[in-house]
Amino acid sequence: MPTPNLTNIRQQLARTVGPAPWYWKTFPAFHSAAGQPFAWAHQGEQGPVGYVVSLAAEPEPDQLRMALNTYCRPFLTAPGCLGIWCPEGRNIRFAGFDPDQLKAFDLAEIAGWFKQSSDRIYAKTPPVAEFEVPLTLSPGMHKIEVPPELATVDELIVPTSYKAMSNDDPAFALFVFYLQAGLVEVLPQKWFTASQYQVGKQWISRAARDQESHRIFGECFGVGTFVLEEDGCRLEEWLDRRP
C-alpha cells in the first residue's frame, strides 16, 4: 500500500462529517432531486432549541424541514435522498428522507422537544426507508439488509462505543458499512481502551478512508487526530496530538 500523505489526510479530515451539533459545519449542503438547494443551521447553545441543528430550503430559511439532536450525522445518497445515521439505544439507526417531500414547520414547534425526548431526528414527514444494526455484532464481516434508497453509498465509516469486558478491551469500534454490497465490517479499536483513555470524556468522533493509501484516519475527541494501521484496528500514528 502507498505511504499515507499526511498533508492530504489532514485536508480530507477537515471535510469529514462529524456529529451534531459540534461538527455541524461539516454537514453537506445539497440540492434535492427537484433542484431545490438545502442548507444546515445551528440554533445556538442557549434557550429551548439550544444545540439543535436544523435543515431548511435556502429560499425559506425560517421554514424548517428537519431538526437533528446530538450525535446525528447526515450523508447523501443518489438520486436525491438524504440519509441520517445516529445511535438508537444499543443500535445504529439509518433513516432516508426525500427532501422534496419534507413538510415545513416553525422553530417554535420544537422548543424544548429534544430536551424531553430521546428521539434524535424530528421531521413532519416519515422516512422513505430505514433500518437498524445492533452494536453487539462481533468483529468481522456481516451481511445486512439495506433498503434500495440507501444502497447507493459505497462506504460509510461509523464510529461507535463498543462493549468492553475489561479495561484492556476495545471501548470503541468502527462499523464500516458497505451499503451497496449489503455488508458491515466491525473493526474494534484495540488501542482505545479504558486503561489508556477517559472513555466518555474522550471518544472517536469521526473517521474516513484515504483514497490513496486506503488507510482509515479520524479524530479522537479530546485527544487528537490519527491514522490507523492497515488492519483498521490499531493506531499507526498521530497526525496531531493534543497535550
Closest CA to 182 of 151, 159, 137: 151
Q: Which three cell numbers stand for residue 92?
A: 445504529
The model's pLDDT over 203-216, given as tens digits with 9 standing for 90+, comes to 999 999 999 999 99
Rounded Cα gap, residues 53 and 24, in angstroms: 7
Supply the pLDDT for residue 9: 94
**Residue 72 binned pLDDT confidence (cut-offs 50, 70, 90):** very high
Q: Residue 242 pLDDT more than 90?
A: no
Find the mean pLDDT for residues 137-142.
Answer: 98
**Which residues, in sequence order, are bridge partners of residue 81?**
77
SS3 41: strand
Rounded Cα gap, residues 85 and 177, in angstroms: 11
More confident residue, 80 or 164: 164
The model's pLDDT over 177-193, given as tens digits with 9 standing for 90+, comes to 999 999 999 999 999 99
Q: What is the DSSP letter of 170?
A: B
Supply the pLDDT for residue 1: 66
The pair phi, psi for residue 25, each rounded to 5°, is -70, -15
Q: Residue 132 pLDDT more than 90?
A: yes
For the chain, what is the mean pLDDT?
Answer: 94
pTM of the model: 0.95
Q: Where are the beta strands (DSSP E) in the chain?
A: 30-31, 37-42, 53-57, 64-68, 73-77, 81-88, 91-97, 121-122, 129-134, 140-143, 156-161, 172-178, 183-188, 203-209, 216-221, 224-228, 235-241
Q: Residue 118 pLDDT more than 90?
A: no
**Which residues, in sequence order, are bridge partners of residue 172?**
161
